[in-house]
Amino acid sequence: MNNERLPDGGSLSSLELLGLLSSKIIHDLKNKLAIIAGHAQFAEMTRQNPKVMADTIATVRRVSEEASKNLDHLSKLRRALPQEHSQSPWAMIEPSVNRLLARRPGWELRRAAETASLVVAMPAPWIVFVLAQILRTVPPGPGVLTVERGRAELPVEGVEVAPLDPDREFLRLTLAGAPELTPAPAEPATALAEFEALAAQELLRRMSGGLWRQTGAADHFETRLFLPLALPPVP
């Protein structure tokens, strides 16, 4: 087991953050271009449109297809960069999690005994980073982080990142508690904080994880983070 101490701050390098955000931008833009190209092709085939409109739509379709090819090249370049494929035993991650919770008065960690031997299919620094971003959004006050093995059985409402395979086994981290009656004023969100929050969600999507937050409750909060467990080796 690697005993190297993980970064306490739950931070990633600027290059990693830029790479993650570029992946999200590419994904979103490709979806929009596909919609533009599809609508343009449909309108072009409609005989009621004037010729000028048909020519214009044909140009829009051609340009969008060219842009899509450019994005494909960018995406291939992004995939060609070094990637993290490591797996992380929870026993290696837990000390860093305890240090994160120590910064939140009244928080404690509870976990099932079996989690000590479980292995998450994500690099440890990424896990600490994602959890740090989620803790930033938790209301002031005491709380409990519960760690257990489980599946991603979630209500539709409140899902921010949907696991690609809900039937897969996950390490389920549940953050729950009651907000303070008179919470301290929230710090204004910075561009970096918003940037890191987007990067955390993109990390979960890339690693087939999940994120759910309770909605509509004023006296209780709950957030569930799903980290994919390493699959057993194929015989």
φ, ψ dihedrals at 170, nearest 5°:
-125, 160
User: Packing angle between helix 90-102 and helix 124-137, nearest 10 degrees?
Assistant: 30
pLDDT digits (tens, 9 = 90+) for 76-130: 655 554 455 578 999 999 999 999 999 998 999 999 888 989 999 988 888 888 9
Angle at 121 between CA 27 and CA 7, to 5 degrees: 90
Nearest to 229 by CA among 183, 167, 160: 167
3-state DSSP assignment of residue 19? helix
Query: What's CA 194's distance to the chain center, in Å?
Result: 13
pLDDT digits (tens, 9 = 90+) for 125-150: 888 889 998 998 888 889 999 999 98
Annotated domain spans of the chain: 14-80, 88-228
203 near 129, Cβ under 8 Å? yes
CATH of domain 88-228: 3.30.565.10
Which pairs count as long-range contacts for 8-12, CB under 8 Å and 24+ apart, including other chains?
Answer: 8/96, 8/99, 8/100, 9/132, 10/96, 10/100, 10/128, 10/129, 10/130, 10/131, 10/132, 10/133, 11/129, 11/132, 12/125, 12/126, 12/129, 12/196, 12/199
pLDDT digits (tens, 9 = 90+) for 180-219: 766 555 556 666 677 777 778 888 888 889 999 886 667 7
